[in-house]
Amino acid sequence: MSDFPLSLEDVRAAHAGLRGAVIRTPLLENADVNAELGGRLLIKAENMQRTGAFKFRGAWWRMANMSAGERARGVITYSSGNHALGVARAARILGASALIVMPADAPKAKIAAVRALGAEIAIFDRGREDYNAVVERLRRETGRIHLPPSGDAQVLAGAGTVALELFEQAEAAGAHPDAILTPCGGGGLTAATALVARALSPATKVYAAEPALFDDTRRSLNAGRRLANPPGRRTICDAIMTPIPGEMTFPINLALLAGGVVASDEEVRAAMRFAFERYKIVIEPGAAVGLAAILNGQVDIAGRTIATVATGGNIAPERFCGLVKQEM
């Protein structure tokens, strides 16, 4: 346990350092939904965060801890959208430049938004190229500092502030989460949440929530080692289409998670529609997998309090409407 790359004290330090830089997003609850489900459902609305996703927390905290000389070198990262937006915004605020390696099939709206924030973009084909190799080549060529989506202790500490706020807000509402489901790509938010839960509420179980066809973390947890997703698969959950669990985050998740849950694309679409109709929020597909797994019964909510993080809301209006449209 002592070998973990961060502690609750690190998350608390990030929480204090982020004050004024991030939004303390609400923890949503709907009495009518609770009555229908027979338990308490809590949704941490990180879709309302700056840049529309929780990723800004870790990006800003990592860059805020760089020296002036390091920031002058600029940063480089890989992202399909939300981390890219967080890094681009943090770089603009803190006076640094950013180069983002993005897959060619990333949503056009996210690519445009990253460019609008002043970041440079390098497009690659994730079907034929390894993003780690692309990032490493460009890092060597440019001398930039790598700011990964999850494989960095300060990025994880920033992500952990989501869970810290969630527990504080739940306590204020007289709720004690029996379980927390976090959408999981590389596993950073999930690992940070599990570390915070272990420190603050050891009885709270934390689950990784993934698209059914991108369940690398669930399968890796079952196998006890990192397993990749088969190539060529697709999902509407573009934000968490990661090829394999993170090297830094997986040991934490293996040690601390209660397990993994999944949702199909159709169940994700239904969860997006449910969030819009019942909570009046717009969340992107990757942000809805935890909610979808609760609604599809993979974690029993009857008589219990279950929380999930709506990790982002960066989706074009026309795509959102197309996904949530219900045929009459």
Q: Residues 62, 194: one domain?
A: no
Residue 308 and residue 171 share a domain: yes
Radius of gyration of the chain (CA): 18
C-alpha–C-alpha distance, residues 280 and 291, integer Å: 14
Q: Of 101, 116, 146, which residue sits at a domain end?
A: 146
- 184 part of a folded domain: yes
pLDDT tens-digit map of 144-157: 999 999 999 999 99
Q: Does one domain contain both 71 and 123?
A: yes
**Residue 177 and residue 76 in one domain:** no
Give the integer Cα–Cα distance in Å for 219 and 210. Answer: 11
Question: Does 252 have pLDDT greater than 90?
Answer: yes
Q: Which residue has the tokens 């960066």?
A: 314
User: Quick check: is 236 in a domain?
Assistant: yes
Owning domain of residue 199: 8-53+153-324
Residue among 201, 148, 146, 195 at smallest CA distance from 171: 201
Indicate if 249 and 218 belong to the same structural domain: yes
Q: Are residues 20 and 164 in the same domain?
A: yes
Q: Are residues 203 and 269 in the same domain?
A: yes
| Domain count of the fold of the chain | 2
Question: In this structure, is residue 232 part of a structural domain?
Answer: yes
Nearest to 96 by CA among 69, 115, 127: 69
pLDDT tens digits, one per residue of 71-93: 999 999 999 889 999 999 999 99
Confidence check: pLDDT of 328 > 50? no
pLDDT, tens digit (0-9, with 9 covering 90-100), for 119-136:
999 999 887 888 889 999
Asked which of 130-139, 257-266, 269-278 is least confident by mean pLDDT, the reply is: 130-139
Rounded to two decimals, what is the model's pTM?
0.95
Q: What is the mean pLDDT of residues 282-305?
A: 98
